[in-house]
Amino acid sequence: MTWPLRRPAAASALLVGTGRHVHPSRLTPIPQAVTTVRALGAALGGEHGVFDPRRTTVVAEPADTRQVLDPLRRMARDPDVDLLLFAYCGHGLLGRDDRLCLALTPSSQYGGGGDPNPSLPFTEVASLMRESPARHKVAILDCCFSGRALGPDGHGIHLLTACGRTQKALFPPGGTLTGFTGELLRVLGDGIPDGPSHLSLAALYDRLAVILPTTPSPLAAIVPTGHPAPHQQTVDGSGHIALAVNPAHGTGRTPAGLRARGAFAQRLKRLTEPSPDTLVPDPAILPQLAAVLADLARDATEVLGPLDDFSVDVRRNHAATTGAAGSPRQAAALLSALVDTLRTTSPGHRALPAAERALTHWNREAHRGRPEPAPTTR
């Protein structure tokens, strides 16, 4: 069953960015924090967003909790709001009982025994949001340790966090946007070619869960792997809430859309390979990748033609992924069809030798009755 997207009737957003720090704080400045939340506000309240710009407020460099809680309280008391969204970008600190606290401009690191003073415990934000009559409540947290908001502290709120409970969010030195929200903005701006008409929270999370871990770290010398994977907490069907129109909707079968889908499939493929972060990849990703490549192979063949280099490469990768996912006979059948096409219509095609070698491999695996690691494919 496909559940309908929920486009809110009226939406309000409070976006907070803390990037500058003053005495006695010794926290590292994050100049991208304010530009990031302003860009997010512009996207959510822009041409494709579902938010009314008049209901979208940006609080930059808050020095005390009142600068955040007062406007949030006013929004929470609005009886006409259908969706209330809170977003924070800055330092995440550990407070009493290791709970998440959001840094203000004078905030210092946690010193033990209590919350950093001053700072804004996320529990206070969540408590105010729960008082709102809005049907949908969403918090987007782009800070270190943001995964600590998941669970009881964020009860009743759909949460999208930049990282897990013990991880640090990343921001590129010298850049204008943080890593997590920067990629979120990229998806909102570029859209998803084979996606639905609107970008729901679930669709955004699914996209970011592939893009972020496969995006090189801006601190490669210190953090050699990609960005942390995002986390999500849903409330009933909150994943179907739409934040924006999908600007790429309907382009999935254009040449540009096909290549964008291919680039995403390559990122998904990288998640199937062992890495320092994930020594044993999630086994569910291979069948997911096989399904993505099956749709892409069909569309590329129909749009670009069966002999197009892109179409042939996708078909070969689809077969290899299908075999690696546990179906060597199906992989052999897919490759047999590809090899027959190439031998019949283009016997000099550059991809024919590799396709024949792959066919030999998966025929052998099919007769053996168990799959082996597939040959490396481009």
Asked if the model's pLDDT at residue 378 lies above 60, the reply is: no
Q: In this structure, how many other beta carbons lie within 10 angstroms of the beta carbon of residue 54?
A: 8
Look up residue 38 and give its two tokens. 């302003």
Asked if the model's pLDDT at residue 348 lies above 90, the reply is: yes
pLDDT digit string, tens, across residues 187-239: 999 999 999 999 999 999 999 999 999 998 766 555 556 899 999 999 999 99
- Identify the weakest region by mean pLDDT among 81-95, 166-180, 202-216: 166-180
**What's the CA gap between 151 and 159, in Å, rounded?**
10
For residues 5 and 82, the model is more confident at 82
For residues 112 and 243, the model is more confident at 243
**Which pTM does this prediction carry?**
0.91
**What's the CA gap between 41 and 60, in Å, rounded?**
12
Mean local confidence (pLDDT), 365-369: 85
> What is the predicted pLDDT for the residue at 2?
43
Look up residue 210 and give its two tokens. 């592939």
pLDDT digit string, tens, across residues 6-51: 777 789 999 999 999 998 888 999 999 999 999 999 999 999 999 9
> What is the predicted pLDDT for the residue at 24?
83
Confidence of residue 278 (pLDDT cuts 50, 70, 90): low
